[in-house]
Amino acid sequence: MDILLGQVVHFTDSPLRGGTAQVHEAVAIDNGLIHAVGPAATLRAAHPRARVTDYGSDLISAGFIDCHAHFPQTAIIASWGKRLIDWLNRYTFPEEMRLADPAYATTIANRHLDLVTAHGTTSVCTYATIHPHSVDAYFRTAQTRNMRVWAGRTAMDRNAPDGLRDTAETADRDTRHLIDRWHGVDRLSCVITPRFAPTSTPDQLEALGAVWRDHPHCLMQTHLSEQTDEVAWVQSLFPDARDYLDVYERFGLIGPGAVFGHAIHLTPRERARLIESNSGVAHCPTSNTFIGSGLFDMTLARQGLRVGLATDTGGGSSFSMLRTMAAAYEIGQLRGDPLHPSALWWLATGGPAETLRAGHQIGNIAPGMEADLVVVNLSSTPAIAQAHGHASDIWQAAFPTIMMGDDRAIRAVWTNGRQVGLSPRTVT
């Protein structure tokens, strides 16, 4: 049994749906799960033999969750580019071909998880490459760290270079094999992963739709309406489709468990259909500004759509969910919709958990949930400390860290009830 002291944040529900955040003095962890939250004296009296770690005034939160990433692009983050397709051809596809080497795939998987953990992220949903061993590498690496992660073999059978194209048959076969091998092992989950409509033929989309029908317990991830020229490209490739989303609908690639990256340039029909189908969307603000894609409309979350924040690294320009929150705030300001700090924090914790259908396991601090936690120093730099000094409540205190914080703000990370990263001071 471990008891952690600090400012422990529990959400009653999403602030975008009227939920509130409650702050407790302590959280008790036992056997990888949250045992209790409440007053420090009460928990210590109930568990006199527990190890007690005092984080002072630091914020103790559910660990950050990145619901849309590309771990094979770790080495090319912050590469200068133009538009999406140019960026893919110039940087992404050449780098992804390097993961044909299993040793390199393992190196990048380790590097990616090192980087995200240093920034307080405890769970990731990522695309791999067409190489099945890239999924193996990510899962093996996460498994040694006791992390809950999702990963999928990326399928592309057209409009991709030699060395990254597969077929409908190999996508079907390899995806099923990976599901049989990994899905549900420890804290690992397979994701059915067509990269996006332009790089999959109708035959491949149909095959992956069939895989999902056979394995509805898996997630399905892909991209949707990231850039206007991409939307036009999809229209030219699928002229009979009503819109971009309709391409996926025709092949059964929509509904609970679907995670669509970006979803910026949506028609009214697409907006309504995403909500009606109970699909999820990954909002990737640093990527959307870095590649010049557009401004996501967060009113979709208020209307009932499942939305979580994501780095979209390496199209995104940071591995930090703090920086991702800051970018989401800035995009909200540009749209005339400033997000409250509590909403931003939820979008980096509870929101992604809901989007990944794991809100009953991770994304909040409550009894019975998995003990994935991040401890955040709200005075990590002189600039942040002086702003923090004027705060009158927890969210005023957290907002400077949201806007200016980086890995220096991460005091400690707990994954599945085990401490990783920096060592805090233990008082008993």
For the entire predicted model, the pTM comes to 0.96
Cβ-count burial of 246 within 10 angstroms (0-12 exposed, 13-18 middle, 19+ buried)?
A: middle
Domains of the chain with CATH codes: 2-63+363-420 (2.30.40.10), 64-355 (3.20.20.140)
Report the Cα–Cα distance between both ends of the chain, in Å, rounded: 12
Residues in the chain: 428
30 touches 38 (CB < 8 A): no
In three-state form (DSSP H/G/I as H, E/B as E, the rest C), the secondary structure along 113-149 is: HHHHHHCCEEEEEEECCCCHHHHHHHHHHHHHCCCEE
Structure tokens at 246: 């309709």
- The confidence band for 210, taking pLDDT boundaries of 50, 70 and 90, is very high
Q: Give Cα 276 distance to the centre of its chain.
A: 22
379 touches 385 (CB < 8 A): yes
How many Cβ atoms from other residues are within 10 Å of residue 4's Cβ? 29
List, for residues 36-72, the tens digit of each pLDDT value.
999 999 999 999 999 999 999 999 999 999 999 999 9
User: Which residues have C-beta within 8 Å of that of residue 170, sequence separation ≥ 6?
Assistant: none
- What does the pLDDT average to over 179-206? 98
List, for residues 163-188, the tens digit of each pLDDT value.
999 999 999 999 999 999 999 999 99
- The confidence band for 86, taking pLDDT boundaries of 50, 70 and 90, is confident
**Long-range contacts (CB closer than 8 Å, 24 or more residues apart) made by 237-243:** 237/197, 237/198, 238/197, 238/202, 242/269, 243/267, 243/269, 243/270
258 pLDDT exceeds 70? Answer: yes
114 touches 71 (CB < 8 A): no
425 pLDDT exceeds 60? Answer: no
List, for residues 109-135, the tens digit of each pLDDT value.
999 999 999 999 999 999 999 999 999
- The confidence band for 424, taking pLDDT boundaries of 50, 70 and 90, is very low
